[in-house]
Amino acid sequence: MEQHDDLYYIEKVKSGLTNHFSYIVENYKDVVFSIALKVLKNRDEAEEMAQEVFIKVYHSLDKFRGSSKFSTWLYSVTYNHCISQVRKKKYDIRSLENVQIADEDDDFNFDGFSEEERREILESALKKLPEDDYTLVILYYYEDQTIEELARVAKLSVSNTKVKLFRARKKLHIILNEMLKEEIDSLL
């Protein structure tokens, strides 16, 4: 099947071919759902919220002018929708300050771990990150968003985004190191 970029499908939807929106949903549902699940910690509620995000995006498509990447715009809607829902429902957002960031070396090793084990450890470590850090890490490392794009998503300055991402990465390293130590201890 011929592959098209997001703009192709957006133009189709804008011209009245609503069913083309399903391509957009298929393409981004995992990222949107993962962020929603991270925030809500409940699969049913996260699925409901992810659906709401896509419906909101569909109704706002006319506002998308193409000045930024569609994915950045979509993630911005997702991020802000999730954050506003969290505030509305007064979910417990773990503060950035809850995790102590030590000034230690980033290096750690996966010696003796299989690829599958390594992936599972990293997935578990990502789940332990606070909601906003998780979103930034996924969008930057998984979705290849730039710092400037992340700044737009989180409505932060570029320098603040850099700091936030740096701190998120540090936290991920700390969590990973702790998990690796635990894994090694359990093997000994």
Partner 1 sequence: MKEINNDMELKKLVKETRLEKPGNDFTLKVMNRIFDEETAKILNKGIKVLGKNFWVFVLLFVALGITMIILSATGVISGDSSTLLPEASKTITREYQTIFEKIGKVPLSIGAILTASSILLLIERFMSKKNLFS
Binding site for partner 1 (CB under 8 A): 18-19, 21-22, 25-26, 29-31, 33-34, 37, 43, 46-47, 50-51, 54-55, 58, 106-111, 115, 118-119, 122-123, 126, 137-138, 141-142, 169, 172-173
In the complex with partner 1, which residue's Cβ is closer, 97 or 105?
105
Residue 179 near residue 121, CB atoms below 8 Å: yes
Residue 125's nearest CA partner among 86, 51, 179, 82 is 179
Sign of the dihedral defined by the CA atoms of residues 18, 150, 39, 84, in that order: negative
* HSE-up of residue 31 (Cα within 13 Å, Cβ side): 25
In the complex with partner 1, which residue's Cβ is closer, 56 or 69?
56
Rounded to the nearest whole angstrom, what is the least distance from the CB of residue 126 to partner 1 in the complex?
6
Burial (CB < 10 A; 0-12, 13-18, 19+), residue 10, is: buried
Rounded to the nearest whole angstrom, what is the least distance from the CB of residue 185 to partner 1 in the complex?
19
In the complex with partner 1, which residue's Cβ is closer, 95 or 120?
120
**Alpha carbon distances (Å) from 182 to 105, 123, 124, 175, 188:** 18, 16, 13, 11, 10
Rounded to the nearest whole angstrom, what is the least distance from the CB of residue 38 to partner 1 in the complex?
8
In the complex with partner 1, which residue's Cβ is closer, 22 or 157?
22
Rounded to the nearest whole angstrom, what is the least distance from the CB of residue 8 to partner 1 in the complex?
18
